Structure 1
Amino acid sequence: MRLRPLVTVSIAAASAVLLAGCSGLGGNAASPTPTSTSTAAVDLCDAMAPSGAASESVTVGGDFGSAPTIEFDSPLKVDELQATVLTEGDGEQTSAGDYISYALTAYGADEGDELVTLGYKPGELMPSQISAESPLGQILGCNGPGTRVVATFPATPATETAAAIAAEVYVIDVLDIVPTAAWGAPQDPVDGMPVVTLAEDGTPSVEIPDADPPTETEVATLKKGDGYKVQDGDYVLIQYYGARWSNGEVFDQTWDGTPYAAQTTGFVEGFQKALTGFPVGSQVLVVIPPAEGYGEGEINETDLKGETLVFVVDILGAQHVESE
């Protein structure tokens, strides 16, 4: 049985919560297979849009890593996607499938009005996976952390399912390449909790104690992150590994695919306790009795009813959502 929240939300959709109405970045739904091969890196470098008259006409002020000021003569004529590198990063290049943290400012090309500024404060923007097919990849190419790019997007005509979008101007700062395993400081294990062993790539395995399961949800920090603290209702980007207490059998994990993004409130109650209040970069161990999992009942092989669940959760990113 696969663990899935009540409402499935992709990484791109999580970003779109605050980017609604902006073209390109908010609607990127590409999910390429992660790879670090040299061929993928070349493909991503070649994917970057060319610099041109429109993007080169935009004047950008301010330091990398802080919200920029943007000046251009409006209305700015934008016939095609163009991207101009303003600051070259001196770190490693990105590869197709990497997750990157970034910040952006967007302006309307016709009126010169600011549309949105996101990502310069912790918890404002979810990390995104980059590919040669995605708008993010076409703006940034394989340029790594430390890179600032100005890009101009042409207008998008209306379709049967989407409204027209006017031409836009973006400034994007590439802040970091996000690891796909928690990077926080290791913490001492907690007596009586399952023992977690990590493979070289971060994949966990769990040894269940020879004891009765707890009757209340128990949570322990395995690695303490140093990032934004997740709040109730936020979107999170996570890796997770789930096993049954009764026999140690793994019933669900993300380590055989890609990290997973969803809203905290979409998970079962016990799982939420391994997310809310923990900083990004943390790895959390949680043991969830049936009452805060999938309900009481007879333990069986077809579902998780009656089962005490054991999860190892790596918190890789988060995006805050204001409560209504």
Structure 2
Amino acid sequence: MRRSTAAVTSLALAAVVLTGCAGGPSFDGEDCAGAFTGDLTKLATVTGDLGSEPDVTLRTPIHQSTETVEERIVGHGQRLTTGDQIAAVDVVLYNGTSGDKVVATEFDGDLSRLSNIDSWNSQVPAVASALHCASEGSRLVAAFPGTDLGEQGMTGLGVAKDDSVVAVIDVLKVYLPHAEGTEQYNDALGLPTVVRAPDGQPGIIVPDAKAPTDLVVQTLIKGDGEKVTGEEPIRVHYTGVTWDERTVFDTTWGSNPAKFDLTQVIEGFAKGLTGQTVGSQVLLVIPPELGYGDQAQGSIPANSTLVFVVDILGVDPAGTASSTGQ
């Protein structure tokens, strides 16, 4: 998708079904309503603003046999509902036996330092489970047995198996997991058809017809988020197919969303997404002169008409650095 050669991913276009409207938010099928019912106020005093490292005083020693999570500051933004959904979070851990701080992230307001629940699960499983259903703008307080850190985490952080741990987690920004909004009617005559799996992943069916010669932009789902201006990078999931070969040459589904500066992508991609809104799913049919022209790019033949389905998951905050930790 960048002007340089795209990483090529092979993906079979399996049959998928169009999904309808879902109910309330859930994580792995579990309703998010009432997700944070714990009360740790008698064990942990936590003060300070969201996004700044909190002052934490524990009533030690704490003995926790199972994980308890409390939403100390209630967030009202986007929820974390999938393991691969990216978010900016800060975390500090305290030893519940001694009351000493064990480790902390930077708490420097950097919203480009992104992670997801899956990555936390591989490092600090208890933090990952605490984040299930968490909302942007929330501060969570979690208490759990030290063994919930996993063997590697206990060893690396110097936590004994009989210790308990208290975590304070600030959820600063959450990106969408997939397009969310209102489905739009489009005249699809002679154009690709898009179907969606339950997780939102699109499948693209290219018709047995001549490719259009002009740029085609169709909003399939209209999101109600902020508008894409091209001035700040965006985060997207996308799948790209060549019209003639009808094969996928690139996709982000199954991995982390892509970050794009619209000044650094092919012209048709930038034109088609500028002015769209976060939460939207957009179909783009890009003629060769607005794509890669007469130059082959990896598995994309020269003079190819390109078909993209793009889910716009969010816009990076102004002035953020390149993201890490994804």
2:48 aligned to 53, 60, 65, which one? Answer: 60
Task: Indicate the SS of the match to 2:269.
Answer: helix
Report what 2:177 is aligned to. 180
- Shift in CA distance, 185/322, structure 1 to aligned 2, threshold 3 Å: same
Residue of 92, 114, 139 corresponding to 1:148: 139
C-alpha offsets along residues 176-199 of structure 1, whole Å, 9 cap, x if unaligned? 6x5532112100123443221222
Query: If the length of structure 2 is used for normalisation, what is the TM-score?
Result: 0.55
Structure 1 residues without counterparts, runs of 5 or longer: 9-34, 39-50, 62-66, 74-83, 106-114, 120-124, 152-169
Query: Are the structure 2 counterparts of residues 294 and 197 from structure 1 closer, same or farther at C-alpha, using a change threshold of 3 Å?
Result: same
Equivalent position SS for 1:284:
strand
2:134 aligned partner, one-letter code: P
CA contact (8 A) 1:126 1:237 kept: no
Task: Say if 2:51 and 2:172, in contact at 8 Å, map to a contact too.
Answer: no
Cα separation, 1, equivalents of 2:269 and 2:239? 12
Query: Identity rate of aligned residues, in percent?
Result: 33
Deviation of 1:251 (Å)? 1.7
Equivalents in 2 of 1:194, 1:275: separation in Å? Answer: 18
Aligned length: 235
2: CA distance between counterparts of 1:213 and 1:174?
A: 44
Cα distance in 2, alignment partners of residues 222 and 85 from structure 1: 38
- For the structure 1 residues 245 and 89, does the alpha-carbon distance in structure 2 shift closer, same or farther, using more than 3 Å as the test? same
Determine the C-alpha separation between the residues in 2 that align with 1:200 and 1:173: 26
Output the CA distance in 2 between the equivalents of 1:209 and 1:71.
57
Contact kept? 2:121, 2:129, Cα under 8 Å = no
Give the letter for the 2:131 counterpart.
Answer: C
Please state how far the C-alpha of 1:320 moved relative to its aligned partner: 3.8
TM-score, normalised with respect to structure 1: 0.55
Q: For 1:49-88, what aligned pairs fall within 5 Å after superposition?
A: 59-60=47-48, 87=72
Offset of 1:279 from its aligned partner?
A: 1.1
The match for 1:312 is 309
Q: Quick check: 1:197 aligned with 2:183?
A: no
Letter paired with 2:184 = Q
Distance 1:171 1:7 in 2: 39
Q: In the alignment, what sits opposite 2:121? A: 132
Distance 1:136 1:60 in 2: 25
Aligned partners of 1:230 and 1:126: how far apart in 2?
Answer: 21
CA distance in 2, matches of 1:209, 1:319: 35
Are the structure 2 counterparts of residues 138 and 262 from structure 1 closer, same or farther at C-alpha, using a change threshold of 3 Å?
farther
State how far apart, in whole Å, the 2-side matches of 1:238 and 1:209 are. Answer: 25
Shift of 1:258: 3.7
Query: Separation in 1 of the partners of 2:52 and 2:124?
Result: 22
Q: CA deviation at 1:219?
A: 0.8
RMSD: 4.7
1:272 equivalent among 270, 273, 290: 270
Change (3 A) 1:4 1:196: same
Alpha-carbon distance in 2 for matches of 1:181, 1:143? 17
Report the Cα distance in structure 1 between the residues aligned to 2:51 and 2:197, rounded to whole angstroms: 41
Q: Which residue of 2 aligns with 1:295?
A: 293
Q: Distance in 2 between matches of 1:249 and 1:273?
A: 23
The 1:288/1:143 distance shift into structure 2, 3 A limit, reads closer
Q: Secondary structure at the match of 1:296?
A: coil
Structure 1 residue 322: deviation in Å? 5.5
Matches within 5 A, 1:7-22: none
| 1:213 match | 211
Match of 1:265, SS state, is helix
Change (3 A) 1:240 1:89: same
- Per the alignment, in what secondary structure is the counterpart of residue 274 of structure 1? helix
Whether the 8 Å contact between 1:243 and 1:250 is mirrored in structure 2 is yes
